[in-house]
A and B are shown apart, each in its own frame.
Chain A
Amino acid sequence: MTDTTKPSGARDGGPRLDAVELLGARRENLVPGTPLLEVDDLHVEFATRDGIAKAVNGVSYSVSAGETLAVLGESGSGKSVTAQAIMGILDMPPGRITAGKILFRGQDLLRMSSKARRAVRGRKIAMIFQDALSSLNPVLSVGFQLGEMFRAHHGTSRKEAKDKAIELMERVRIPAARQRVNDFPHQFSGGMRQRIMIAMALSMEPDLIIADEPTTALDVTVQAQVMDLLAELQAEFHMGLILITHDLGVVADVADKIAVMYAGRIVETSPVHELYARPAHPYTKGLLNSIPRLDQKGQNLYAIQGLPPSLLKIPTGCAFNPRCDRTQDRCLVELPPLVPVLDAEGADLPGRHSACHFWKETLHG
């Protein structure tokens, strides 16, 4: 696919680690600078009644240990589907991974046996879901659900698992953990439930955590607490973090780099603060302009015109062309590749890519 110019699969074809080796691999052993996880040209589609929905169309990104990648995009942009493909929890069928690699410590997760995959899941890569109430089992106590991680992965006894669960609950600062360990999810507040989800993800001290809109279901004050906790724990364990969100505000404080997705492709990548200062893609620009600002109180809020495309019928050329104010004839036919962008003097801007034919005009204009 043309829109992937990021280095990919450097160690492809190298010796395959087996699951045991992979589990034994220590974070410290990782060569500095080598990514923990590399998604390379991933394609996912879904068979639906009305045809094939192309949810992910050649996504590539990478995360290193201790790094936070924010994946930004509106619903249907393919950000969650990519995450589910990494976790191996896509519903297949109707989902299908048609191309691409997902390298974790250099080993392709997509070519692993389901058993080896299961050993990685939860233990080396863990996930935090959006709605903690529906993501926790309503009929099992939180202590059981936390302890289950130790029992399933380490064969810990039931009693020991409960002690571990209490420890975890204390670690994510749930008050009176010992008294509350036998409570059920519905007996906790939204913020506390999300803490339990975080505790569950942390239990095996994974290398990578994928957080799929972890704060969307929470109210604003609690959002900040949960994000702070997540960032703090990430730093403590030196984990990689993929933060999936549609909320630009959440991203700014915690992310190192951002990938913006639209219609199943990455349209822009950038270190976090540069993106806010100078977007290089009209879509990103539109998103930033539609954040309400205090100094524009009383004015109409900017909104990107139109609707996101149907994944069954993604427009030819640039998928954003029906909504873009820069659209030219070229945009209707030619798919813009994700290319490195340069500053006004022609010098390289590290980490910055844009999939727009007119990135120069967008960035500098």
Chain B
Amino acid sequence: MFGIETLSGNAQAAALVGVVLVEAMVLYVGYGALTAALGPSVRKAIGGE
């Protein structure tokens, strides 16, 4: 996946950890933006306001 198979040994291992790290950062930023956009309305809905 993502061409990682073409690498070997330590490079492949580092690339896999790197992909997980990048995915985590992207998800953090992505969900952060989503929370900022939808957070107040969700809070209002849950809070019953």
Q: Are both chains from one complex? A: no
Interface residues of A (CB under 8 A from B): none
Tell me the B residues contacting A by CB distance below 8 Å: none
